[in-house]
């Protein structure tokens, strides 16, 4: 490889069974003539910044705390696919976003911002999203459904960026459509409030261009 210098994290491992450590690399560097720089952990209040910590926070339904570590709101990006149009029939049309290999955060309802790319760049819209199995309808596959507030238009086939800003509630099963519609309306109001609050402001961490 013609290696001259390696820069690795303090917890870097490599090789079969992840048996190679930073110390191994330093020893091999001395033996074969390449340098090794080890980047120490970065922490705040005793909490080490790490991808594991961020994943744990997202899976615990703490997107705002995760954003503090990332430096920006955590996003899912995917193509809007054809759904069963159930949201439209309920009066809350949703964009069904393909998750692909994305991390699945805690299942439930979130206040989000949805970004659409236009001729002048990305335009962000306030929204509310549900990510889950939709137990009221007996589904068994995790889906991401996003309702854009105060928006009208066809999103099929477009790429949508969904930035998670606040967790509203966990996923639940409803006795009927009337109860579901009432809860969706309440979730929409809660999302508006969260997105308007200082803690959920777009400029708190910024949205990636």
- The answer to whether residue 171 is catalytic is no
Tokens of 126: 């306030």
H-helix or E-strand containing 86? helix 86-90
Beta bridge partners of 76: 162
Catalytic residue among 28, 62, 81, 145: 145
Place of tokens 């708190």: 204
In the block, tokens 């994290």 appear at 9
Which ranges in the chain belong to alpha helices (H)? 22-32, 51-59, 63-70, 86-90, 177-196
Instruction: Write out the catalytic residue numbers.
Output: 145
């Amino acid at each position: 490889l013609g290696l001259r210098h390696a820069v690795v994290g303090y917890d870097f491992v490599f090789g079969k069974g992840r048996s190679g450590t930073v110390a191994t690399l330093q020893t091999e560097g001395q033996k074969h003539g390449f340098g090794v720089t080890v980047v120490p952990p970065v922490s705040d209040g005793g909490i080490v910044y790490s991808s594991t910590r961020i994943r744990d926070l997202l899976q615990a339904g703490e997107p705002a705390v995760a954003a503090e570590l990332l430096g920006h709101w955590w996003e899912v990006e995917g193509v809007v696919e054809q759904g069963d149009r159930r949201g439209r029939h309920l009066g809350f049309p949703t964009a069904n976003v393909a998750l692909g290999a994305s991390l699945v955060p805690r299942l439930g309802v979130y206040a989000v911002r949805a970004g659409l790319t236009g001729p002048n760049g990305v335009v962000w819209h306030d929204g509310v999203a549900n990510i889950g199995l939709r137990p009221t309808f007996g589904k068994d596959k995790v889906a991401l459904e996003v309702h854009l507030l105060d928006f009208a238009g066809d999103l099929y086939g477009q790429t949508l960026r969904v930035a998670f800003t606040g967790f509203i509630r966990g996923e639940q099963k409803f006795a009927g459509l009337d109860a579901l519609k009432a809860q969706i309306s309440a979730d929409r109001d809660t999302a508006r409030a969260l997105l308007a609050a200082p803690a959920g402001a777009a400029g708190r961490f910024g949205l990636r261009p």
